Chains A and B, each alone.
Chain A
Amino acid sequence: MAISIKVNGKTHEIDADPATPLLYILRDELALNGAKFGCGLGQCGACTVHVDGKPAFSCLLPLAAVGNREVTTIEGLASNGKLNALQQAFIDEQAAQCGYCIAGMVMRAEALLRVNPHPGEEEIRAHMQPNLCRCGTHMRILRAIKRAADRSTEIGVGHEERL
């Protein structure tokens, strides 16, 4: 039985077991490989996508449970190849090292900035809690989010000379 899902603005008819995790569908059926498999247990956040604008572990979300909610992946974030502020901040602050966790990090952070455009450090840390990084770029990721949040007021970019 085909199941209909909407991803990055496009509707797809998927013929798969309804229990299949959304992540497998994105990666193996739709060739959207930005979201990563890191644990399959919701322990690492590498698979984070938006479902109706809210961050979700796509490795834990069965295809059948998506319903008519809109799925957005990292591939749907940049518009016409132009990076959004968060993506640019991740580059500028060198938040990406190996890069494997980054799609999930960006998607989770983006969800925060959409509801709270100017979060404080504690709010950022608490919100980013489900996503793990192993390269040890925690401070850079947190700073990138702060940088994107503060872009309008041009603060929080201190320490630049220390880079």
Chain B
Amino acid sequence: MNYIGTPISRVDGQAKVTGQAKYAGDVNVPGLVFGAVVTSTIAKGRIKSIDTSAALKVKGVLKVLTHKNRPALPKSDQAWKDDIAPGGSPFRPLYDDKVMFSGQPVALVLAEEWETARYAASLVHVEYAAKPHITDLQAAREKAFTLKKSKKPRGDAAKAFSSAEVRHEAEYFIPTEHHNPMELFASTAIPEKRGKLTVYDKTQGVQNVHRYLCSVFKKKKGDIRVMSPFMGGGFGSGLRPQYQVVLAVMGALTLKRPVRLMLTRQQMYGLGYRPASIERLQLGAQRDGTLHAITHEAIVVTSQFEEFSSSDTEWADRLYKSPNAKFVHKLARLDVPTSCDMRAPGATTGVYGLECAMDELAVALKLDPVELRLRCYSDKDQSVNLPYTSKNLRECYQQGAKAFGWEKRNPVPRSMRDGNELVGWGMATGVWEALQMPAAARIVLGANGHAEISCATSDIGTGTYTIMAQVAADALGLPIENIGIKLGDSTLPQSPVEGGSWMAASVSHAILGVADEVRKTLFDAAKKIKGSPLSGVKFEDVTLSDGKIVSKKDPARAMTIAHVMRERRLDRIEKEKLHKFKKDEKHARNTHSAIFAEVKIDEELGVIRVTRVVNAVAAGRILNTKTARSQIMGGVVWGIGMALHEETAYDHKFGRIMNANIAEYHMPVNADIHDIEVIFVDEPDEHINPLGIKGVGEIGIVGTAAAIANAVYHATGVRVRDLPITLDKLRR
């Protein structure tokens, strides 16, 4: 193996720095029509009337579609369910006169130019009959409900809490956040011959969108092809098909012309989001720092029509030993779009609450926060009572603390300063799941020694193109320059949506599996060659290396792949295989991290800067230390945003978002980002999968906001539990 584990630069780098990478809204075809969406200005009610006459009078406007004149759409909920739809009734754009959230599409203007479409959209006049709405989680919390029966509690957490020597109880709040990928949601739908359709879509799963569109528009599998070769950031927002792809296809089918529909930045706030959540924690400990009771209850936002839910509460079972534990996850319905996955869904918010609570407990116990975590360290996932495939979290604490200089920390709040700034040091633990899914790959190996690898996965910016090339180059024994990667096309071999940090493991093992078939074919061919140096060698003993098929035991027994293929008159070897992971019910699978953060806070003004973060991660084998490091750095930046900046602000009177743009929705910018150090702790894992891969897309954000919040407390002595920690909250 030569490429796996090395920091090679991304193979799509050149396309990205020259502007050649084509995103869903970058496809230019002759006769392209441009769409613009009109969205609702009320949060709940009915459309009384829509007047499109002024829009239709604008020169260049071709059509305005509304619920009144749209083409037929299916009625059943089932027809609108995508692969990862939660329970409930999925949203259908332009379906009827019902308004379920502010920002809901109510009309689609189609015109010859985008400028024309956007102008005409501003002329569409909608009359509404509004109904009372609710968009405030605090106001809806009493009506929150549990989706499924809560898991049986372990022991009696309430009783153990009341008799504990040291108790901490508090409520933490995380507001709604939006993904805000730099790329706007866009689709270009192009009618082809014989009623077929090619759709370029911004998505994390082309095959999910493909199945969805076939179902919604009653098309056969071969009639629609969905493409997404590049994606300008997803972070979970593109896991489910979004409404613009339905509208683009609707427009293309209506006009029988290609249609591009790109949402505006404001309209992006009418899509999914990280749901606001209330995290209530009760921790009961003995004076020696052992936990006796953990209760974690979450109340999380969903819509009136679907029940999106991700696990906020059970992370404590993976991290901290406690004989008594109770976890309750509740949903509260608001008049908003359905919430959705956003980078480490559930863990980002739940672990924020848990890790701040642990810090408060450490203060109450007068224990170092790292020491408290070591005293409660769990070698088992208590929720299933299983050991881990690997868990090198102890090493994360140790290496992270050392790199940060944690031993120099004075535990007394407000005790450390730098000029007129208070200095705070805080830490937290991170945890995420190590998931893996069935996926297929195809290899086409040419006699010229070049191979094309394909899979319908997306590369959402994470580096999937690159790691696929690395794994394939090693498995086929070819230089990486000889490997071509195709992805983001629904006609390619099966792939799950790209999310949850599962794609690296899933697609890598799909490639390994099919590469084995190629090796077998080459081996069979090589043995048939007269005087073959490989005759008598067993298949298990040959490998592909340096462009050769070679005996592992005796490297002198080898033939070049080119020679074998030429001799056997093989122009190409093409193989495809679906890979499924072996079931392992004896282990729990997680990634872990320890985050150490330094903040400096202007004592008079309260301005907070995150000057240093060390994130030590144990995530199995790292395929590419360069792309993986970027994932963790990105996660840390998101954690900084979550801790100090990000909040989707609602005007509850109108049920609308007040900061639906990226100047007023504050995400981290250059001035906010300073030193970020990423450490990958060595974590060999023989159980999880042959390559020992766990995935790194989510783990970087988990715990980061808590480490910063804990540092803010250490600097100021003020505990702010509701995010984001803005300077006004330090003065309450």
Residues of A within 8 A of B462 (CB): 97
User: Can you list 27 A-B pairs with a CB-CB distance of less than 8 A?
Assistant: A17-B116, A28-B28, A28-B113, A28-B114, A32-B19, A33-B22, A36-B182, A40-B265, A75-B18, A78-B18, A96-B16, A97-B461, A98-B230, A99-B232, A101-B182, A102-B17, A125-B670, A129-B670, A134-B180, A135-B630, A136-B633, A136-B636, A136-B668, A137-B634, A138-B670, A138-B673, A140-B633
Q: Would you call B662 and A39 a contact (CB within 8 A)?
A: yes
Find out whether the CB atom of B18 lies under 8 angstroms from the CB atom of A74.
yes
Q: Output the residue of A32, A101, A128, A139 with the most chain B CB within 10 A.
A: A139
Is residue B478 contacting chain A, with contact meaning CB distance below 8 A? no
Besides A28-B113, A83-B18, A96-B10, 4 other CB < 8 A contacts?
A28-B28, A38-B184, A100-B183, A136-B673
Q: Which 5 A-B pairs have the closest CB atoms?
A: A34-B19, A98-B461, A100-B232, A136-B637, A136-B634
Contacts A24-B114, A94-B626: A99 and B461 contacting too (C-beta < 8 A)?
yes
CA distance A17 to B119 in the complex (A): 12
The answer to whether A35 has its CB under 8 Å from any CB of chain B is yes
- A75-B18, A83-B18 known; A98 vs B460 contact (CB < 8 Å): yes
Determine the distance from Cα of A27 to Cα of B26 in the docked complex, in whole angstroms.
8
Contacts of A138 in B (CB 8 A): 637, 668-670, 673
| B-side interface mostly | loop
B25 and chain A: residue at smallest CB distance:
A37
Q: Scoring B residues 260 to 283 as 1 if CB is less than 8 Å from chain A, else 0, what string do you get? A: 001011000000000000000000
B681 an interface residue at 8 Å Cβ cutoff? no
B625 an interface residue at 8 Å Cβ cutoff? yes
B17 touching A106, Cβ below 8 Å = yes
Also in contact, A134 and B181, with CB within 8 A (given A28-B114, A78-B18, A97-B634):
yes
B630 x A137 contact (CB < 8 A): yes
Q: Is the CB of A24 within 8 A of B115?
A: yes
- Write out the residue numbers on chain A whose beta carbons fall within 8 Å of the beta carbon of B627: 94
- Let me know if B14 is at the binding interface, CB within 8 A: yes
**A132 touches B (CB below 8 Å):** yes
A96 in complex: contacting residue of B13, B26, B633, B661, CB < 8 Å: B13
Q: A75 touching B113 by the CB < 8 A rule?
A: no
Min C-beta distance of B127 to chain A, whole Å: 27
Residue in B232, B633, B667, B673 whose CB lies within 8 Å of A98 = B232
Chain B proximity of A6: nearest CB distance (Å): 18
Please tell me if the beta carbons of B182 and A134 are within 8 angstroms of each other in the complex. yes
Cα-based distance from A128 to B636 in the complex (angstroms):
20
Contact B9 A135 (CB under 8 A): no
Chain B CB within 10 Å — which of A44, A88, A106 has the most? A44
For B669, list chain A residues within 8 Å (CB): 129, 132, 138
Query: How far, in whole Å, are A102 and B637 apart by their CA atoms in the complex?
Result: 18
Residues on B with beta carbons closer than 8 Å to the beta carbon of A39: 265, 661-662
- Count residues of chain B with CB under 8 A from any CB of chain A: 64
Closest to A144 in B: B17
Minimal beta-carbon separation of A144 from chain B (angstroms):
9
For residue A43, CB closer than 8 A to chain B, the reply is yes
Q: Tell me if A4 counts as interface (CB < 8 A to partner B).
A: no
B669 closest partner in A (C-beta): A132
Check if A16 sits within 8 Å of B113, measured CB to CB: yes
A77 CB, nearest partner CB in chain B, Å: 8
Cα-based distance from A87 to B181 in the complex (angstroms): 22
A19 to B232: give the CA distance in the assembly, Å.
28
Chain B interfacial positions (CB closer than 8 Å to A): 7, 9-10, 12-23, 25-26, 28, 32, 34, 113-116, 179-184, 230-235, 262, 264-265, 460-463, 625-627, 629-630, 633-638, 661-663, 667-671, 673, 676
Q: CA of A92 to CA of B636 in the docked complex: distance in angstroms?
A: 21
- Find chain B residues with CB under 8 A from A102 CB: 16-17
Of the candidates A16, A17, A46, A163, which one forms a contact with B7 in the assembled complex, judged by CB atoms under 8 Å apart? A163
| Interface 1/0 per residue, A119-163 and B, CB below 8 Å | 000000100110011111111101000000000000000000001
Which residues of the other chain, A, contact B626 by a CB distance below 8 angstroms? Answer: 94, 163
Measured between beta carbons, the chain A residues less than 8 angstroms from B630 are 94, 97, 135-137, 140
Give complex CA distance A135, B630 in Å: 8
Contact B19 A75 (CB under 8 A): yes
Cβ-based interface call for A58 (8 A): no
Would B18 and A98 count as touching, CB distance under 8 A? no
Q: Is the CB of A24 within 8 A of B113?
A: yes
**Could you tell me if B230 and A19 are in contact, using CB atoms closer than 8 angstroms?**
no
Closest to B260 in A: A28
- Collect the chain B residues with CB atoms within 8 Å of residue A28's CB: 28, 32, 34, 113-114
B113 neighbours in A (Cβ, 8 Å) = 16-17, 20, 24, 28
CA distance A23 to B91 in the complex (A): 33
Nearest-Cβ distance from residue A113 to partner chain B, whole angstroms: 15
Contacts of A24 in B (CB 8 A): 113-115
Taking a contact as CB atoms under 8 Å apart, the answer to whether A91 and B14 are in contact is yes
User: Which positions 1-40 of chain A face chain B at CB distance < 8 Å?
Assistant: 16-17, 19-21, 24, 27-28, 31-40
Residues of A71-115 whose CB lies within 8 A of B: 73-75, 77-78, 83, 87-88, 90-92, 94, 96-103, 106
Residues on A with C-beta less than 8 A from B19 are 32-35, 73-75, 103
A98 with B182: in contact, given A38-B265, A128-B670 (CB under 8 Å)?
yes
The answer to whether B233 and A90 touch across the interface, beta carbons within 8 angstroms, is: no
Query: A35, A97, A128 — which one has the most chain B CB atoms within 10 A of its CB?
Result: A97
State A138–B636 Cα separation when bound (angstroms).
11
Q: Which residue from chain B places its CB closest to the CB of A34 in the assembled complex?
A: B19
Check B115 against A33 for contact (C-beta < 8 Å).
Answer: no
Q: Given contacts A75-B18, A100-B23, A129-B669, is CB(A40)–CB(B181) below 8 Å?
A: no
Q: Inside 8 A of A96's CB, which chain B residues have their CB?
A: 10, 12-13, 16-17
Most chain B CB neighbours (cut-off 10 Å) among A88, A98, A125 = A98
- Docked pose: A135 CA to B18 CA in angstroms: 19
By a CB distance below 8 angstroms, the chain A residues around B673 are: 136, 138-139
A16 to B235, CA, bound (A): 37
Q: A83-B18, A94-B10, A102-B16 are in contact. Are A139 and B676 (CB under 8 A)?
A: yes
Contact residues in B for A78 (Cβ distance below 8 Å): 18
Given A73-B19, A91-B14, A125-B671, is A44 in contact with B629 using a C-beta cutoff of 8 Å?
A: no
Interchain CA distance A35-B25 in the complex, whole Å: 11
The answer for the CA separation of A65 and B561 in the assembled complex, in Å, is: 60
Q: Which residues of A contact B670 (CB under 8 A)?
A: 125, 128-129, 138, 142
Pick the contact of A136 from B115, B625, B638 — CB < 8 Å? B638
A88, B18: Cα distance in complex, Å: 10
Contact B9 A91, beta carbon cutoff 8 Å: yes
Q: Is B662 within 8 A of A98, CB to CB?
A: no
Instruction: Evaluate contact between B115 and A98: CB separation under 8 angstroms.
Output: no
Which residue of B26, B629, B671 contacts A163 across the interface (Cβ within 8 Å)?
A: B629
Q: Given A87, A88, A98, which contacts B231 in the complex, CB threshold below 8 Å?
A: A98
**Which chain B residues lie closer than 8 Å to A137 at the CB level?**
630, 633-634
CB within 8 Å for A94 and B13 given contacts A28-B32, A33-B28, A34-B19? yes
